[in-house]
Structure 1
Amino acid sequence: MVVEGPIQLVCLTASSGVPLFTRGASRQLPFSIIGSLNGVHMFGSGHGVLLSSCETEGGEKVVWRVFQDSVMLIATSAGHQAGSSKGEPVHLQRLLENVWSCMVMVLGQDELANVRNVERLKKDLRACFGLIDELLEDRRDGVLGLLTHCTDCLLPPQPPLLQEAVQGFAAAADSEFGCLLVHGRVAAATEMWWRLAPQEIVLLSALMRSLSDSASASCDYPVFLPQGSPTVAHRLLRFQLLPGADVCVLCGPTPSLHHTESGLVGRFWSPLVDILRNCLAVGERCLPASVSLQPDVLAFLLINRENHRSVSSVLHPLCPHLQDDPALTSKTRCWELLKLFYILCMTRYFKQGEASPPKEETEEGAPTEDLVHGLSHQPLQCYLVTDECKSFGLQTPQHQLFLLFPLAVPTFALHTVAAHTLASITTSTFF
């Protein structure tokens, strides 16, 4: 498993191939290459062939996607070392889906599907760049929802009190959609918030993190819901309760930002300041202290397949007894390995669901296809041993669990530790 190279994104009009913007790598693609990438896709389309991805001799990958017969997105990634995963285009395809939904969320589907003035659209698209750059960089440790399309969650120590506050705050703001984010992860939300499409929740969380980085205490931001309301905008009201803790609601023309901030924020959240601090203290572990994990777990990603929620954490270097082991990789590398192991499992072994590429996008004769077609059953467990760590994946009807371990852990013990980890988290938190 290797580190993915820099990704560059190109956006063009689908009909004429006029470039709208490029984002990503510091060195932009020459116009001639952009024209060639667009031209080869148009050539295939004219002959009844859908070109969705390819790989060059040097290992560079390219994916294409046309949305609403109006906008084409092209993503390219730099070369990889030998042995890189065949499943990596899945990540690029997921990126294109997220970027398109981001554009719809900021501008609305009508403006993108019916391009009347290219120069004006170029100008309007600048409002998307901050969020698009966040999707491209994907450097926030602990945030995996852009890849999994499952909501990144933090499990607080006193969830009923926070849940009651979110529901009361949203109702007072004439909204059914409210959410509390702690360290960029959802700690509590209203029932209607959870009924939004999983991708919408993931992108709203990303937008909230981006707005939080602006250091503003509050904001009133218009958003379209890519699936629920792509043509009618809602207002996203966001308020910082404490550094690292933000609450937001989706609402209509009322109430005003000033009325909500001055009359409702203090009323509902001032009594819970200590509880919010306890929630913030959970930190990167994302689990309350009542959850006991085996000391040899380096990192984990747990997905609830029924409600599309996930919780993840890198416990190294949080675990003191692991800090002095020179063989262990860095915390950032642990997150990278966790992502790569997830991609490997979802493209080769586990039931893929949303994470799978469309059937026509799977390489003919690829190891993934041969392996899946050669099995008479659905794999439920898998493991991988590399020169950096050991990884184990476990799938049940309700959950998927992905774990990283130090090399010193015996391979035969991986399943036992994984089963204990799953039982410990789900029993204590009902996740």
Structure 2
Amino acid sequence: MAYCLIFINTNNGHPLLVRSTSILERNEHSPEMILNLLERPTDNQIPLALIGILTSSYTFSTKFGIQLRSCHTDDCTIHFYEYNEHLLMCLLEPTEYDIPNECTQYKLVLLRTLFNMIIGYEYIDQKSQTNPQKLENDLHLVKYYVDTILNDERTFSFGDLTQCSDTLCGFDRNIMYSCLKSISDHLHCEHICITLSNRIIASSTGWSRLTQAEQYILTLLITLNDYSNDILPTTRDMPVYLDSIDRSRNYRLVSVRLLGQIYVSILCSSTPKMSEFEDIVDRYCHSRIEHIQNLNSLLYPRAFHDDIIFDHNILALLYINRQTHFCASTLEPLKQNMPLSMSIKKHRYGLLRQFYMEIVRMEKEKLLPYDNSKNETKMNEMYMLNDDEQIEHKCYFLREQEYFELYVLFDINIPTIAMRGISKKTLLLLRKNL
């Protein structure tokens, strides 16, 4: 996806942060200033005219009691999100993507959560009025993470779309829960989580009470520090702010690597010391190292245990449990000797996300019922076929009991009549395992 984020101080129209991803093809019908900005991979030489237009458009509408959420040009959609009275976030995206507003608005919620968690809301609020230059320099800390949120393909996750936590599926969680509880009880720590890459293996009740946006950003911080430094650290200790607990003070996000990309992480204050946390994690997890090795080798990047066997026609799938607020996905449903190429993964990932957004868009369409009743009718099944010979896939959506949703990307050669039966069997299988 190609996006551009602008974080503006509306008091003086000064841009505090600008990040853009990808490059849009030049189109003679597009506003030149927007194209110039979207084409830049970095944040220098911002068109001041565009900043002025965005700021004045939003403040003018606000003056008349109108909340401006988005506006459109022929080739660009501009989304507005008010951070506070004098700070505004603008997200620019190509109109051709036709992304549902709900999905884009949640991306802005994630960005706001990221700013608050790393910099702190009260600090941002204060410095934006007293020392905006200092705040602009401080916002360098979030650039790498902003780029990741804007660039979907960096993590292959669906949590930013589904507003559920990405997790793994098909293994015995009790073993990892026992390790987690032992560590939690020993440290009297309420917020603890075990992750593999950016997927949650097990988490405490306190961790699950955090907002979905906070959980998403925390897993991002745990995961992406590895990639940003090009190393795999054994331990990490970084300050974070949590709006859902107390945004006036910072907490410590302490992480210890068990094996590969498996981390145990806690949210704490001044205690425990890092060395103490390492010793406790080792004490309770050492006896489970064989199980942890299996998680690291068998479940990643497939994200499903080898015992779960999918139909050979399935190319990729996304399963959502709205009751537990977890989602599981895979771009490699079949166990293969040779892993899929990155280009194939990106292609499947893009198609599956697009299919999910298409279902969201259909459900948000407001259709007047014939009998004028207020009962809402939900769509529980839908399939899509592609006439384009270059797009070799079919899609099927299935929902059961309002909570369980399945989005499947099929091979083009599957008979259309067979998609429903395979989808139902797959959903039944996944419901038993997550």
Q: TM-score w.r.t. structure 1 length?
A: 0.86
Distance 1:231 1:311, change over 3 A: same
Asked whether the 8 Å contact 1:12–1:72 carries over to 2, the reply is: yes
Identify the match of residue 314 of structure 1 among 309, 331, 346.
Answer: 331
In structure 1, how many angstroms separate the alpha carbons of the residues matched to 2:243 and 2:312? 42
Choose the corresponding residue for 2:142, options 128, 136, 145.
128
**Structure 1 residue 159 displacement after superposition:** 1.5
Aligned partners of 1:393 and 1:104: how far apart in 2? Answer: 36
Q: Deviations over 1:223-276 (max 9, x none)?
A: 111333322211110111112111101112111112222x21321222222111
The reply on whether 1:61 has 2:77 as its aligned counterpart is yes
How far residue 92 of structure 1 moved from its aligned partner, in angstroms, is 2.5
Q: Deviations over 1:116-140 (max 9, x none)?
A: 3212211222222222121112223
Q: Distance in 2 between matches of 1:271 and 1:234?
A: 30
Q: Separation in 1 of the partners of 2:339 and 2:19?
A: 39
Separation of aligned partners in 1, 2:119 and 2:291: 37
Q: Segments of 4+ in structure 1 off by > 6 A? A: 320-323, 371-376
Q: Hey, what's the Cα distance between the residues in 2 that align with 1:152 and 1:403?
A: 17
DSSP-derived class of the 1:129 partner: helix
- Give the match for residue 186 of structure 1: 200
Cα distance, 1:317–1:37 mapped onto 2, change above 3 Å: farther
**In structure 1, how many angstroms separate the alpha carbons of the residues matched to 2:108 and 2:216?**
14
How far 1:204 moved relative to its partner? 0.7
2:366 matched to 1:369?
yes
Deviations 1:112-170 (A, max 9, x none): 23333212211222222222121112223531112222100013633211111012123
Identical columns (%): 22
- Cα 1:31–1:260, aligned 2, differ >3 Å: closer, same or farther? same
Separation of aligned partners in 2, 1:92 and 1:254: 38
* SS of match in other structure, 1:249: strand
1:246 is aligned to 2:263: yes
Partner of 1:246, secondary structure, is strand
- 2:427 aligned residue: 422
Counterpart selection for 1:390 from 394, 415, 434:
394
The yes-or-no answer on 1:279 pairing with 2:295 is yes
* Alpha-carbon separation, structure 2, partners of 1:322 and 1:243: 18
Give the equivalent residue in structure 2 for 1:15: 11
The higher-RCO structure (CA 8 Å, 6+ apart) is 1
**In structure 2, what is the Cα distance between the partners aligned to 1:336 and 1:378?**
25
Check whether the contact 1:317–1:331 (CA below 8 A) recurs between aligned residues. Answer: no
Shift of 1:70: 3.2
* Equivalent residues of 1:220, 1:235 under 8 A apart: yes
Q: Which of residues 105, 109, 132 is equivalent to 2:121?
A: 109
- Does structure 2 conserve the Cα–Cα contact (< 8 Å) formed by 1:292 and 1:424? no
SS at match of 2:271: coil
In the aligned structure 1, how far is the partner of 2:315 from the partner of 2:141? 39
Inter-partner Cα distance in structure 1 for 2:305 and 2:103: 31
Equivalent position of 1:359 in the other structure? none
- Give the CA deviation at 1:91: 3.1
Instruction: Give the corresponding residue for 2:51.
Output: 34
The answer to whether the Cα contact below 8 Å between 2:19 and 2:147 also exists between their aligned partners in 1 is: yes
Amino acid at match of 1:259: E
Q: Tell me, what secondary structure is at the counterpart of 1:219?
A: strand
**1:311-390 equivalences in 2 (<5 Å):** 311-315=328-332, 318=335, 330-349=344-363, 368-370=365-367, 377-386=377-386, 387=388, 388=391, 389-390=393-394
CA separation of 1:371 and 1:132: change in aligned 2, threshold 3 A: farther
Query: Structure 2: where are the runs of 5+ without partners?
Result: 22-40
Aligned residues: 398
**How many angstroms apart in 2 are the aligned matches of 1:228 and 1:341?**
35
Letter in 1 for 2:51: I
Rounded to whole Å, the distance in 2 between the matches of 1:164 and 1:46 is 56
* Superposed counterparts of 1:134-283, under 5 Å: 134-155=148-169, 157-213=171-227, 214=229, 215=231, 216-261=233-278, 263-281=279-297, 282-283=299-300
Contact 2:384 2:395 in 1 (8 A): yes
- Is contact 2:352-2:409 (8 Å) kept? yes
Q: Distance in 2 between matches of 1:420 and 1:413?
A: 11
Question: SS state of the match for residue 415, structure 1?
Answer: helix
2:412 to 393, 404, 407: 407
User: Which stretch shows the higher mean deviation, 229-238 or 302-311?
Assistant: 229-238
Distance apart, 1:370 and its partner CA: 4.3
Q: 8 Å contact 2:109–2:213 — kept in the other structure?
A: no
Residue equivalent to 1:292: 309
Indicate how the Cα distance of structure 1 residues 371 and 181 shifts in structure 2: closer, same or farther if over 3 A, else same.
farther
In structure 1, distance between residues paired with 2:120 and 2:155: 30
Give the Å deviation of 1:298: 0.9
Question: Aligned in 2, Cα 1:66/1:39: closer, same or farther, shift over 3 Å?
Answer: same
- Could you tell which deviates more after superposition, 292-301 or 47-56? 47-56
Deviations 1:158-186 (A, max 9, x none): 32111110121233233111111113210
**Aligned with 1:96 (options 108, 125, 128):** 108
Deviation at 1:27, TM superposition (A): 5.8
Whole-angstrom distance in 1 between the partners of 2:421 and 2:338: 21
Rounded to whole Å, the distance in 1 between the matches of 2:376 and 2:326 is 29
CA distance in 1, matches of 2:57, 2:9: 15
Instruction: Provide the secondary structure at the position in 2 that maps to 1:188.
Output: strand
Q: 2:377 is paired with a residue of what secondary structure?
A: coil
